[in-house]
Structure 1
């Protein structure tokens, strides 16, 4: 239920069901917050997403790669590449390890922003980190260059 309400940006219902869960003695965990964050990211509601992330931190729950990917997805969909960079650095500093999902999300954000130079930079960082590119990675690179009319690349 939380995910459905988060995806539609229904903050009041998210808050209601979250409070119901806590009142029932069910403690939220990283999966609970990942559900909320991913739903908000899908709805492109980064303000609500950040509110839930703050609540997660206040509860003492440590973000994992899935949480960071949800946060990155929300900002990437808006083309907020600077915020993606900040979150990536925060993730690495926390000890979480970037994977193909993380890099693909960032690459997609660069493509959405039309910044193919930055997209290429992130692809280089992906390779330097030893993370193998997959079909999704190459499709994002193709999409990014096609959007900017760089069909030769």
Structure 2
């Protein structure tokens, strides 16, 4: 399906402690993220930036987007290659570097999917499907830093 897709989200700052942004330490970094028809997400900045560590932050959400996009693209690639995936887990990591001027950027993300396939004859195609998934992943194709993959493929016990 070729086409243009549009997405809408509402971000609402909920951290006014009564004096707004009167000072750097005077407001909470709490945000509610909303998409119509879906549960709200309680978000904040990361703890080093005066955020609430119990809430999702933008860096977590970026890493989650990359991991999930690869997972979904990979499952599609496996179906088209005749690979039966019975389990998929990813322990993704990302490295962000501050620039010393108040900003920064991600240096890289590493996805470490652990995939279990139904039969040993599927291992090579399951490995190749990661390359196809990388080409198909909308999110990975939208970022300006490397997204590396370190997959492990095993075969389900009989």
Query: Is TM-score (shorter-chain normalized) higher than 0.5?
Result: no
Structure 1 or 2, whichever has the larger Rg, is 2
Give the TM interval when normalised to the shorter protein: under 0.3
> TM-score scaled to structure 2, two decimals?
0.25
TM-score, normalised with respect to structure 1: 0.26
Structure (1/2) with the larger helix percentage: 1
